[in-house]
Chain A
Amino acid sequence: MADEKDREEIIVAEFHKKIKEAFEVFDHESNNTVDVREIGTIIRSLGCCPTEGELHDLIAEVEEEEPTGYIRFEKFLPVMTEILLERRYRPIPEDVLLRAFEVLDSAKRGFLTRDELIKYMTEEGEPFSQEEMEEMLSAAIDPESNSIHYKDYITMMVIDEN
C-alpha cells in the first residue's frame, strides 16, 4: 500500500516536471502564464489528443473567473496532471485513423481527391481553417494525381512522429 503511494507520488512528480517544461516553452514573459491560444498546443504536445470541443471545455476550466487571455500555471498544473493520470484524450491508433479515411472513401479507391478532402475537412466534423487546410494539402496531396493516397500518407506521418 505504501509502496504504491510512493510510486504514484513519483509518477505525479514526473508529470509535474513534464507539464512545467512544456508550459515554459510558451511562457514568453517568464511569469508563469501563457497565451490562452497556445494551451491547445501545450496539451497536445504532452501526448493528448482532444477534440476542439473538449479543448474548449478544458480552457474554461483553467481560465480565470474573468478571462484575461492568459492562463496561469497554478491553475493549469492540477488540471493537466489529472488528465495525464487518467490517461484522457488518448491519441488515435493508426488503424482507427485508416478506417476513418476509408469511411470517407466510400468507393474504396484507396484515395481521396483534393476536392473531396477539402470538402470533408472544411464542411464536416470540426472544420479546418483555411490555413490548416492549405497546410494539410501541401503535404498530403500528390501533385501528379491531385489526390491523397491516405494509406501512404498515414504511414509517412507516423514515421515522422517517431
Chain B
Amino acid sequence: MVNTVLDFPGGKVVFSPEMRFLSESPSVYSQCYRVLDDTGQLISHSNFVPVSEEVAVKMYSNMVTLQTLDTIFYEAQRQGRISFYVTSIGEEAINIASAAALTSDDIVFPQYREPGVLLWRGFTLQEFANQCFGNKADYGKGRQMPIHYGSNKLNYFTVASTIATQIPHAVGAAYSLKMDKKDACAVTYFGDGGTSEGDFHAAMNFAAVTESPVIFICRNNGWAISTPTSDQFRSDGIAVRGQAYGVRSIRVDGNDALAMYSAVHSARHMAVNEHRPILIEAVTYRVGHHSTSDDSTKYRPANEIEWWRMARDPVTRFRKWIEINGWWGSEAESQLRSSIRSQLLHAIQIAERAEKPPVNDLFTDVYDNIPSNLREQEKLLKETINRHPKDYPADVPI
C-alpha cells in the first residue's frame, strides 16, 4: 500500500515522486485591474461599482483640493514658512477614491502619504495648516513635524514617521471591530518600501490567523526615497504575497479612481462580511520628491517624472470621465481651483499668526497624569527659562 496523501498537522499533503521546485516568479504576472483607460474612457466589458454624479464630483473636487493643498504647502516650505512637507502628487486617486469607498466608521491607520483620506472625511484646510505650523490649535499640540496629522473624531490615527509600524496596529483594531460586531473595518496604508519591514509580514500573518476585517492598501509608487522597487524586492510586486499568508489580494491601477473605488468597495464588503483581510496593491508613481528634504532628480530622470505628472495624471484622467458624463466643465474647474487656492492661502496666514502651544504641553500626555519626575523637571525648566530667556523661542508661551 502506497501512501499518496498524508495528514500533517497543517492539513492533507499530496505526495509526488517528481521533484519539482516552485518557480521564484509566476508564469504570468498578476493582472492589474483598471476600468478607465488613459484618456478617461470606460474600458468596455469592465466591471466596476457605479458611482453617482454627486459622489464622483465630490471625489474629483477632493482630488483637485489635495493637489492644490500640496502645491501651496510645498511652496510654503520652500519659503521657510513651514519646516517640512510631504506631497501626494500622483497618488490623488488612491487617496480620494479609497476614502470614498469606505465609511466614516472605518478606522484608518495611515503611513504619511494619505492626507486625502482625512480631507475626504472633513478635515479642514485650516486644520491641515494648524498642524503644519504646530500652533495652539494643532490637535497634536505641536509635538510632531508637519504632515503628522491625526483626528480621533474622523477615525484617522495620528501619522508617525516610523515605517510600517501602523500595519499590525490595524490588525488589532480590526479584531476589536470584529469582537464588537461593528459594521466597520480597519484600513491601513503603506508604500512599496514599507512592505519590506518585518511589521508588514507580522501583520499579514496575524490578520489571516485572527481572521480580522482589515484592508491593507499598498501604494506601490515605484520609489522608497531613492530606492527603486528593483532594489526593494524581487517578487512580482506586492499582491502576489497575499497568497503566501492566506490573504486574498488584488493589484489595481492606482491612478484609476474608478478602479480604486471599486476594489476598495469590494474589499470592504468581504472584510466586514467574511471577517477576512484583503490586500490591495495600488500601482502608481510618486510624482513628487520623497519630501522637501529630497531632490529626486538626483536619482531618476526628470523626463520620467514629467511624463507621469502629465500623461499619467490621475486627476486629469478622472476629470475626463466626469466631463464625458456631463458632470463637470471648465467653468466649474476654474472656480474650484481659485476658490481652493484662496482658502488655502488664508488658512496659512491664520495658522502662521496663531500662538504656539504653551511649554506646559511639553510635559503633558507622556502618561495620563504627570508623574513627579516630570513635575520636578517642569519646575526646573521654568527656572532656567527665567534665567536665560534668550535661549528660548519667543512664540512659545511659558
A and B held together in a complex: no
Residues of A at under 8 Å CB distance from B?
A: none
Residues of B at under 8 Å CB distance from A?
A: none
